[in-house]
């Protein structure tokens, strides 16, 4: 069972993270426990396969190359155990590692991106890479991007990367765009990442081969279940989580959140399933890219593997993205984004922070 209470006060992003080296105590015990405090973004959490640590992506503004590095925390929070940067490049380029996923044998898969120079915003290299250990700073690229999987469309990005079996990965193929909110060059650039379809990546041969999963166009999340025999997935502007048996292709509705709102960012582990529901999400047909789901986060919901025993983890001062359930199913870590209230007479609407930190639910 999960529980949550509203924090009486929140720390600003400008305050330093001050956990002493070697501690396994979270920055703020909550609940939910606040695990990180970064002036940039900490996100894409994933558990080590034995539950002994939490992997995540952490942007380092104190580095000249402002890399997004692979970091590890103790399972309860505390000080970083490791920080691996310069993936896949070096200190003279801006690099990023996203969507890490740990296998039972210690391998780590991730989306690896490089800009080829310092401070670039548009990646010139993208690939899905696999490292033999957590400390490997030069992982093997098993699939360069962009590419078109069998039965699918062109993808140049990948999200929700998971190990399906020891020799297969599953992820949501995506397309990456940098857009301006208005025609004026002074308008800030914004990042838009939208799904193409769920993709299975077979690593057993000399060259990794990808296959698109039918019926998953524009998917907004995927999670393996039943030791890789089936997957759960979500679709845009839809309140339902779907279950697909991979051998037969049979698709059923796993759970419908109905009036709670649109569901996405599904993850499953142990006997529990977590997903983001409702919140700041909207679907529209963008004239530049077509049908698009815009998402600033929502409310965490946790279910059992039957699709019942639903628990809502709601904190009004924060919205969440990309939950990850611990291997034993007892805890959920997720990206949390502060809801910024309007200033009287200045801003008539609430906004949501563009950078997030990690929060831990359960295990109290």
Instruction: Output DSSP code: residue 28.
Output: B
Alpha carbon distance 165, 169 (integer Å):
7
pLDDT band at 190; cut points 50, 70, 90: confident
Q: So what's the pLDDT on residue 233?
A: 98
Residue 17 has pLDDT above 50, yes or no: no
Average pLDDT rounded to a whole number, residues 309-324? 95
Structural domains for the chain: 38-144 (2.120.10.30)
Using alpha carbons, select from 57, 14, 135, 96 the residue that is nearest to residue 333. 57
Q: What is the mean pLDDT of residues 317-336?
A: 97
Q: How far apart are CA 243 and CA 253, in angstroms?
A: 6
Q: Taking residues 338-348, report their average pLDDT.
A: 73
pTM of this structure? 0.88
Judged by average pLDDT, the poorest of 241-250, 274-283, 355-364 is: 355-364
pLDDT at residue 168 is higher than 50: yes
What is the band of 356 on the pLDDT scale with cuts at 50, 70, 90? Answer: very high
What pLDDT, on a 0 to 100 scale, did the predictor assign at position 147?
94
Model pLDDT, residue 116: 47
Confidence of residue 340 (pLDDT cuts 50, 70, 90): confident
How much is the average pLDDT of 262-273? 97
Using CA atoms, how far apart are residues 321 and 266, in angstroms rounded to an integer?
10
pLDDT at 89 over 70: no
Higher pLDDT, 64 or 141: 141
The pLDDT score that the predictor gives to residue 102 is 97
For the record, the structure tokens of 237 come out as 């502007």
Mean pLDDT confidence for 79-93:
79
Mean pLDDT value of segment 165-183: 87
Q: How many CA atoms, within 13 angstroms, populate the side-chain half-sphere of residue 144?
A: 4
- Measured CA to CA, the distance from residue 293 to residue 296 in angstroms comes to 10
Residues 123-139, mean pLDDT to the nearest whole number: 83
Most confident of 26-40, 105-119, 254-268, 287-301: 254-268
Give the residue-averaged pLDDT of 242-256: 98
CA dihedral (78, 79, 82, 83) positive or negative: positive
Check residues 119 and 49 and name the one with the higher pLDDT.
49
State the DSSP H helix or E strand holding residue 284, giving kind and residue range, or none if neither: strand 281-286
CA angle 21, 57, 334 (to 5 degrees): 90
Token pair belonging to 185: 């060059």
Question: Do the Cβ atoms of 26 and 36 come closer than 8 Å?
Answer: no
Q: Taking 50 as the threshold, does the pLDDT of residue 117 lie above it?
A: no
Across 137-158, average pLDDT: 93
Widest distance between CA atoms in the chain? 62
Percent of the residues in the chain that have a pLDDT greater than 90, as a whole number:
62
Kindly report the number of other CB atoms within 10 A of residue 291's CB atom: 13
Residue whose structure tokens are 């992982």? 139
Give the C-alpha separation, 271 to 303, whole Å.
9
pLDDT value of residue 12: 33
Q: Which residue has the higher pLDDT, 16 or 274?
A: 274
Query: Which residue would you say has higher pLDDT here, 308 or 188?
Result: 308
Rounded to whole angstroms, the Cα distance separating 106 from 100 reads: 12
Answer with the residue of higher pLDDT: 49 or 15: 49
The C-alpha atoms of residue 128 and residue 171 are separated, in whole angstroms, by 10
Please, which pLDDT band fits residue 186 given cuts at 50, 70 and 90? confident
Concatenated DSSP letters of 124-176: SEEEEEEESSTT-SS-EEEEEESB--BTS--BSEEEEEEEEETTEEEEEEEEE
Question: 3-state DSSP call for residue 226?
Answer: helix
Report the pLDDT value the prediction gives residue 27, as an integer from 0 to 100: 78
Which tops the pLDDT comparison, 109 or 30?
109
Give residue-wise pLDDT tens across range 199-235. Answer: 999 999 988 999 999 999 999 999 999 999 999 999 9
């Amino acid at each position: 069972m999960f529980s949550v209470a509203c924090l009486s006060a929140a720390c600003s992003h400008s305050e330093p993270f001050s956990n002493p080296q070697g501690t396994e105590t979270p920055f703020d015990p909550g609940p939910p426990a606040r695990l990180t405090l970064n002036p940039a973004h900490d996100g894409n959490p994933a558990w080590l396969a034995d539950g002994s640590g939490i992997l995540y992506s952490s942007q380092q503004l104190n580095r000249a190359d402002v890399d997004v590095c692979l970091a590890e925390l103790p399972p309860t929070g505390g000080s970083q155990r490791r920080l691996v940067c310069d993936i896949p490049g070096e200190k003279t380029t801006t690099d990023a590692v996203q969507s890490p996923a740990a296998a039972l044998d210690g391998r780590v898969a991730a989306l690896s991106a490089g800009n080829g120079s310092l401070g670039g915003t548009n990646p010139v290299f993208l690939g899905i890479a696999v490292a033999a250990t957590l400390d490997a700073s030069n992982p093997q690229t098993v699939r360069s991007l962009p590419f078109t999987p069998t039965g699918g469309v062109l993808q140049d990005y990948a999200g929700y990367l998971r190990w399906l079996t020891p020799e297969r990965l599953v992820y949501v193929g995506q397309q990456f765009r940098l857009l301006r909110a208005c025609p004026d060059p002074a308008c800030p650039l914004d990042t838009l990442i939208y799904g193409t379809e769920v993709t299975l990546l077979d690593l057993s041969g000399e060259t990794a081969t990808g296959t698109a999963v039918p019926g998953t166009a524009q998917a907004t999340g995927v999670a393996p279940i039943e030791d890789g025999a089936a997957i759960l997935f979500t679709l845009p502007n839809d309140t339902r989580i779907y279950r697909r048996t991979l051998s037969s292709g049979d698709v059923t509705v796993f759970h419908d959140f109905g009036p709670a709102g649109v569901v996405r960012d599904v993850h499953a582990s142990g006997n529990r399933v977590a997903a983001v529901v409702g919140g700041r999400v909207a679907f529209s047909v963008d004239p530049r890219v077509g049908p698009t789901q815009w998402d600033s986060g929502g409310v965490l919901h946790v279910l059992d593997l039957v699709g019942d025993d639903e628990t809502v983890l709601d904190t009004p001062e924060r919205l969440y993205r990309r939950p990850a359930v611990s291997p034993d199913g007892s805890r959920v870590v997720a990206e949390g984004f502060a809801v910024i209230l309007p200033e009287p007479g200045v801003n008539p609407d609430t906004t949501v922070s563009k950078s997030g930190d990690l929060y831990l639910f359960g295990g109290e």
